[in-house]
Structure 1
Amino acid sequence: MKIYETTGFPNPLRVRIALAEKGATNKVIFVPVDVMGGEHRTSAFKAKNPDATVPLLELDDGTCIAHCNAITEYLDGIFDGPSLTGTSPKERAVIAMMNIRAESGLMNAVGAYFHHATQGLGPDLETWQCPDWGSKQKEVAQLTMIYLDGVLTESDFVAGNRFTVADITAYAGLVFAEFAKVEIPENLRALKAWRDRVAARPSING
């Protein structure tokens, strides 16, 4: 199978971490996509993914799966190792809920700030911007950081007592936030301690 990605981008990072957690990094072929050059908007790429986004998973039978959550769901199901998406109905629901909160409130909010309230990827790619919306989403991201800090005061990980896809999403969101200069409020000690623990995992630091 192939994974189309752009190195250094936050969403491809999520899939890279998931693969490493499953011990499956060497079981896929990574195909670079030149986003800065607009390759993701070409007809050839959009024939595989009409959303024109990376990452994209292409299976051996030609099936193409876009969006991190869908990709991780597939990878988690076919590779051995501890489940990232949960095993019981309750666990899967809690993990999915927390993953959505981390994605919507942090990852996507930082993305909206970066693409709308800063220069983003430059004028050739940022063809429409709404700075007020971007600035509002920066506030959303920092409120989500406060929420996650409260969660991590009570539990070791974002969705309970073990590492899951929700932690991957939240960690990648903080990496993106640091790049976009969306600061973690100084008093969020639990969130910062969790970030440091996650950053030391072999799937990220290895």
Structure 2
Amino acid sequence: MKIYDIEGFPNPVRVRIALAEKGATDKVEFVPVDVMGGEHRTEAFKAKNPDAVVPCLELADGTYISQCNAITEYIDGHFEGPLLTGNTPKERAQISMMNLRAENGLLNAVAAYFHYATPGLGPDLETYQCAEWGNKQKEVAGQTMAYLDSVLADNDFLAGSEFSVADITAFAGLAFADFAKVEIPDSFANLNAWRARVAARPSIAG
């Protein structure tokens, strides 16, 4: 099993945390992709993943799986250990719901701000920008932080009492917010306390 990625980028981080939670990091070969050099947009890479993004999972039979949620779902089902996507239909639905809220409202919103309203990764990679859209998505990210803070007033984790992929996605989203200089207000005490707890997990703290 191979994972094509670039260490430290938000979506690759999500996959690496999931692998660590399952105790499976050493069961995967990581293949670095030169994103800053545009390798992800080459025809050779797009033959593996037409989305032209990382991460991308390659199975032993030659199957390629892209889209971060699909990759983490495969990892969760393939390796032993606590399930990150839920045990029952209700749990799976709730986790999926919160994961999508964290992904669309936080991580992707911060990404849109970074790529569309700031210099982002530089002019060679940021070939289209729209500051109005990017700044609107920055607002969305702030609204989502407020929502997640309210959820964590009554829950240890975003989808209830157990750590899940929703927490992984939100944690990566906040890390991206730091990088993109999107403020995480100190007043969001529940969100900041949750973040500290998650950062202390062995899968993240090392």
Structures share a fold, TM > 0.5?
yes
In 2, the alpha carbon distance for the partners of 1:7 and 1:76 equals 20
Partner of 1:95: 95
Instruction: Provide structure 2 residue ranges, at least 5 long, that are not aligned to the other structure.
Output: none
In 1, the alpha carbon distance for the partners of 2:150 and 2:80 equals 32
Report the CA distance between 1:87 and its aligned residue.
Answer: 1.1
In 1, the alpha carbon distance for the partners of 2:156 and 2:63 equals 37
Partner of 1:199: 199
Would you say how many aligned residue pairs link Structure 1 and Structure 2? 206
Q: Deviations over 1:119-147 (max 9, x none)?
A: 00000000000000000000000100000
**One-letter identity of the residue aligned with 1:15:** V
Report the CA distance between 1:185 and its aligned residue.
Answer: 1.6
In 1, the alpha carbon distance for the partners of 2:63 and 2:73 equals 15
Partner of 2:58: 58
- 1:11-26 equivalences under 5 Å are 11-26=11-26
- 1:72-83 equivalences under 5 Å are 72-83=72-83
Partner of 1:109: 109
| SS of structure 2 residue aligned to 1:48 | coil
Report the CA distance between 1:186 and its aligned residue.
Answer: 2.1
In 1, the alpha carbon distance for the partners of 2:149 and 2:99 equals 15
Instruction: Provide structure 1 residue ranges, at least 5 long, that are not aligned to the other structure.
Output: none
- 1:23-172 equivalences under 5 Å are 23-172=23-172
Q: Deviations over 1:15-42 (max 9, x none)?
A: 0000000000000000000000000001
In 1, the alpha carbon distance for the partners of 2:33 and 2:152 equals 35
When normalised by structure 1's length, the TM-score is 0.99
**One-letter identity of the residue aligned with 1:24:** A
When normalised by structure 2's length, the TM-score is 0.99
Superposed CA RMSD in Å reads: 0.4
In 2, the alpha carbon distance for the partners of 1:203 and 1:8 equals 14
In 2, the alpha carbon distance for the partners of 1:200 and 1:8 equals 18
Q: Deviations over 1:54-104 (max 9, x none)?
A: 000000001000011000000000100000001100000000000000000
